[in-house]
Amino acid sequence: MLVKKFTAAGGDVSHPNAETIVKLHVAKNVAQVKRVFLFPSLWDLIVWVMPNSNGAFAEKNPLIKPSAGAATSM
């Protein structure tokens, strides 16, 4: 869940506990909660190895063409 929602319910992200999870009705009692931890936000970085005609920050590059075996290599 988002940190905002957790802290709004009285939770402390520095010391998360099962009581807050129960208070938010995610679990029925603290015995159901095995572990509570903060999972920080993630950032993805995409680096193009050739110029992008759609602009430096475009999601797709029309100049990049997958190889014939690309679909089967995963």
Q: Provide the whole-model pTM.
A: 0.53
Length of the chain: 74
Q: pLDDT by residue for the chain (74 residues), tens digit each?
A: 888 999 999 999 999 999 999 999 999 999 999 999 888 777 777 776 778 889 888 888 888 888 887 766 55
Q: SS3 helix, strand, coil % of the chain, rounded to 5? A: 25, 0, 75
d(CA 28, CA 40): 25
Q: What is the dihedral angle through the alpha carbons of 54, 55, 57, 62, rounded to the nearest 10 degrees?
A: 30
- Identify residue 26 by its one-letter amino acid code: V
**Residue 71, token pair as written in the block:** 């679909």
